Structure 1
Amino acid sequence: MDLMLGSKVLLGSLPHLDRLLKCLFNPLEERLNRSHRSHTTLRNRAVLVQALLVPGSYFIGSFANHLATTPYIGPPIAVLVIARSIGLRQQWDITRASLLEIPPHAGKLRHAGEQLIMSYSRDWICNLTLFVAGGFALLLPFRLLAAALDQHTASDSTRPSQPFKSAFVPFFNLLAIPGTMVSCFFLALAPVLVPGSSLSAVRGTIPAATSDLRGILSRLIPLSIVAYAVGISFSCEGKDGTVRWIGPPDGRANIVVRDLRTIVLYFLATSGLTLLAMAMLGISLILLQNGRY
């Protein structure tokens, strides 16, 4: 639904779920995240906010699960909410615009490639895995934490420097782990179908020098896999504040149009494998419900 109808003139005209959650979170952040507070106080406040909001969003999501079963009305509304929690079509359009830009800008090309991968792993697969496991009861807390981290920024893979925001990372990673593992499986498998990519992508499942990176692990690993497959490097901030690079030792930081096209093919192959797996899982569940197995 999002890929087909998520353009700005259709579903894209509706607000993203993260934007709505951010509107709820912003007043709390403005009140609690004050620069004159100590780091310990800010972290404790962030932990308290999570202790209140995450269970609250879980119970709201549980109520939304019941509403989603309302005949005729519930399922279409649920589909719209899920589609607007992904935003993959919007990033696809941005990537296409970057490819058509003359002259090409290496920074924009790298950012477009990074965001396309993140939209697949962080938004599509993590959302899908949590929704399959618990419906909106797990999806809403995850998107709330994502909105709290300001995930749609230029440095998505970098842990926020503010103590208040960085305190949200551990719980975010915990919820993202199942979806990240699923996405990494498909990302590591995709080079079989993508010309110009390398089977060494599997080496990216263990990013080098992660101890020196101030990064969010559930975001670093998918980027590392694609970097090894395509032979490029994505930037991340080190603990000392300097720029670090995610990818193979000989990876190129200067990304060109050809590299982004390979990433697009990589995304299409990975998405195709994912949709095939989803279809097979859906058919299996239908057969199980009908007693065929």
Structure 2
Amino acid sequence: MRFKDWATRVLLISLMFMALVLVLIIGRATKLHNNPTTSHISNPSVMAFSQYPQVQFQSAKEPEKKFQNVIKSPVKINKPVARYITTQAFTRYRPSYQVASVDPSNYGERYTQDVNGVTLHNQPIIVIHETGYSASSAVNFFQEAHNDEGVQASYHALVKLDGVVVYLVPPEKRAFGAANSVFETPEGVETVQTNPNLPASVNNFAYHVSLETPPDSYDSSSQQTHSGYTEAQYHSLAWLIAQSQVPDHRITTHRLVDRSGKKVDPINFDGNKFLNLLNTFRQVRPIYRISK
């Protein structure tokens, strides 16, 4: 075979191989572009939201989906006769959110027994707070390690002035949101002592959520009052709590559970506005059982 013929054949084979490689590369790129799963995973906000918090959206059109409680607690759960489902208004409202880590010294596990070994059966409650200063100052404090048990503090979540929800402590953990505290009910008071060196509190069965305090209250001379919370804060607070199965009568404030006589938050909180919004974001659905 002449050298010219051999070189021609080698050139043709090389061109065919290069064309095959080019086709494979184009096909791979097209597959990646059209693959909805890959596109979904590449969205960092979707990834973050699927990891924390673990919230499942449920509208009135989708009653078959399993509902994720905002708060989990090692308590005895009676069989409910009704449950909350979120509404279409809830689905339409999607606040922005952030996730901030909290130093492990500022939260702990939920206990199944108190300091005396008594098994706990408290149903969850939600306690509403305010930060006192800026949201960033609260987050910075929670991210610092505190060895003094009297100083350790945290919320499960807080709502900034612009309505952004900041997730802090996972719901299944015990946040240190209220020190000396009790929750009053028609049947009596509920409180749990988990540390023999500290007063009893509601922390073991509470989900703590705080509103960022408006700047006009940062001056120490005006901390007993301020201009109030923004519309965005009320909407995001109601949206957050609408995801729980905690009934309205077990939603309270730091001021009402406090027994130190020092806590007055949340100041100027419009409870009626909050409950009206909450009831637009969730509704009660009876659970029907077939009698045997």
TM-score (norm: length of structure 2): 0.23
The structure that has the greater radius of gyration is 2
More strand, by proportion:
2
More helix, by proportion:
1
The structure, 1 or 2, with the larger RCO (C-alpha pairs under 8 Å, 6+ apart) is 2
TM-score (norm: length of structure 1): 0.23
